[in-house]
A and B are shown apart, each in its own frame.
Chain A
């Protein structure tokens, strides 16, 4: 009877292999990094979800950040402040803004990049922003694999029906972001994605353009409790149009977006719909303004 009330056991592995061994033995243990997500949904003692906690704080490999000429490699337990400090000059502005807007310094000083990506039922700032880049995540701990780890694209980390496509014993260990230069990048969150996921939206856009036309256009719309929306058709509608965009071109792209969003999910609220479409139109208008003022 009293076993229910025992204090959860906390395990503090100091290497990645220790962590994976613990994870294999206790697949249902709660993985603990910054804890900003877990604690804010916290149920006071006795904790109903798991009797065991594996803390990632003492695994230096998971908080290491390194860079090559082409990639930025970030350990999954790296704090957001740490990523912002180290990658201040090399992070794409869109990604830097997404990191900064996770919260004020008491939050970003504790929250981790892996934590932000791995809340199963929420898609937050980083998931939306990173979906525009070529991002690989490293997963370790799958016993059926001969190799120690597998690399998948970030988009494959999320199931379409919600939740994470991770095996029971797997742990997200690294995130690899390919460097890309963009002429126009924007990140906006409207509402509070964490507090009010059903109303908030996140809009990200990444554009490359020459003197007179758009050569690359990517955008993502994130509905925190539903998923991330990207549409290649709308992107290809905008690509190769000449700058400045005509108002009918903006209206046309926006109309297609409105229709596609209606068929995307019935759970999108009208307020989210309106917010995303407006953000999309505004970004195209701002792109126009910028191209004219160049």
Chain B
């Protein structure tokens, strides 16, 4: 089946089986290297990508669902200002995710603070409960995402004033 989509801002065409998971398409056909899935069944949370700017588990999305849609992985996201806000938040709170879950934790943080720049700790914890990696303590994650939200909010206010 022919699948047309925008991958990291560029139009792409894939000729794949319509029911393979997006994760498989990204790793095997598009050679994306920032995803480190452990399970492929929605259990580990290490395969998060942005689908139309919303974080999704790429192992739960079949290829036919991405036709005409935008997929963003960390490769592209790390060139944006949104990424800078998040990474500053994590750095400021001295809590860097490990290399295995780095991509997913960053994209999840983006999902939270795009909805709300001052998220409640419960909201952060519930969103991160999808993640099985324990490289960071929950309190560190809460602080880092809250800090990232502060940076994002500050930048938005500054952009509006300009």
CA distance A8 to B1 in the complex (A): 9
Are the C-beta atoms of B60 and A47 separated by less than 8 Å? no
B17 touches which of A32, A45, A100 (Cβ 8 Å): A45
Across the interface, which residues of A come within 8 angstroms of B59, CB to CB? 39-40, 42
Closest-CB distance, B27 to chain A (whole angstroms): 12
Given contacts A39-B59, A105-B55, A109-B56, contact A7 B111 (CB under 8 A): no
Interface string of B44-61 (1 = CB under 8 A from A): 000010000011110111
B115 to chain A, nearest CB (A): 8
Known A8-B18, A105-B55, A105-B127: A110·B43 in contact at CB below 8 Å: no
- The listed residue (A10, A35, A45, A53) touching B20 by CB distance below 8 A is A45
State the CA gap A40–B24 with chains docked (Å). Answer: 14
- Contacts A7-B18, A195-B43; A110 near B60 (Cβ below 8 A): yes
- Interface of chain B, helix or strand or loop or mixed? mixed
Encoded as 1 (CB less than 8 Å from any A CB) or 0, chain B from 10 to 23 comes to: 00000011111100
B65's partner among A8, A35, A44, A195 (CB-CB below 8 A) is A35
Is there contact, CB below 8 Å, between B61 and A35?
yes
Interface assignment of A143: CB less than 8 Å from any CB of chain B? no
Which residues of B are at the interface with A, using a C-beta cutoff of 8 A?
A: 1, 16-21, 24, 40-43, 48, 54-57, 59-62, 64-65, 108, 111-112, 126-130
27 A-B pairs with C-beta separation under 8 A: A7-B1, A7-B16, A8-B17, A32-B62, A35-B61, A36-B42, A36-B60, A39-B62, A40-B42, A40-B60, A41-B41, A44-B20, A45-B19, A53-B19, A53-B62, A104-B126, A104-B127, A104-B128, A105-B55, A105-B126, A105-B127, A106-B48, A106-B54, A106-B56, A106-B108, A106-B111, A109-B56
